[in-house]
Structure 1
Amino acid sequence: MKLISDFAERLRIALDFKKMKATELSELTGINKSTISQYLSKEYEPKRDRIELFAKTLNVNEVWLTGYDVPMEISSIDKNDSLVEEYELSPDELKEYENIKMTTSTLMFNGRPASENDKIELEKVLKDFFVKALLKKRADEENDRQKKKRNSKIN
């Protein structure tokens, strides 16, 4: 993954692609139009939280927006992914899982992109962690439901 563009150019492309003007982006994000103009003219570089907000608002890949050679569109998880089917992920859980997959696609060490093997290995570890956390969360939610049910019978 290498840097092939800059934020200003990518923001302009995303706005054109979405047929959106900077004023509309300003309204949707709450960021002053003059600030967006300064980003577009390369006067200033946005901080990470702003890049995140623009990516979410424009529904584009945050890494692509910063100029890296990755797909523009946010890739949705492959529906054949066994984890998605096996655990019947809710929309929120699916989003968390997508964030994990996004993390591995942007992994860098010492300023250089990680090798594909490192990314695959890390994805396995993060996937296992995600499943454990998911199962614990679901068990906790079920325990809470059971407690509420018992408490409602007592009262």
Structure 2
Amino acid sequence: MKMSNTSERLKELMKTKNLKQIDILELCKPISNKYGISVNKNDLSQYISGKSEPGSKKLAILGIALNVNESWLMGFDVSMERGSINLLSEKEELLLDKYNKLNDFGQTEAIKRVSELTEIDKYTRVNITTMAAHNDDNSEEQQELMMKDFEEMDKW
């Protein structure tokens, strides 16, 4: 149940942690840079005044920067404590970090290149169907193709 709003919660945090708007912006800066999502003076001023509410991405930046639960920051009656659930693997974090360092053109190129890699069997996760060892009613051509497949799998 919603008990408050983002404006009130930000004011509460500013009071209890003795923060000014500039302090919050400084806390947001490294996270904003990491994820490529900017929280600027105007945004924060509007959130604190209650003129607007942050979208999900900017809310996440604020939650991480202030180390509070985003739902609590939105005004819901939940614990203020931030959970420590990380849904991304280390490799995904690394990939996202590198991707966010790219400009728009670079990000578009990265997407193209990753898409190309997904078209190459060598780089994709493949579902392998097991065939019974006693299945000998395959044509000679099918058996040759299976042998080539087995040889390719041995290279993995």
Please give the TM-score of this superposition, normalised by the length of structure 1. 0.46
Return the index of the structure with the highest Cα Rg.
2
Please give the TM-score of this superposition, normalised by the length of structure 2. 0.46
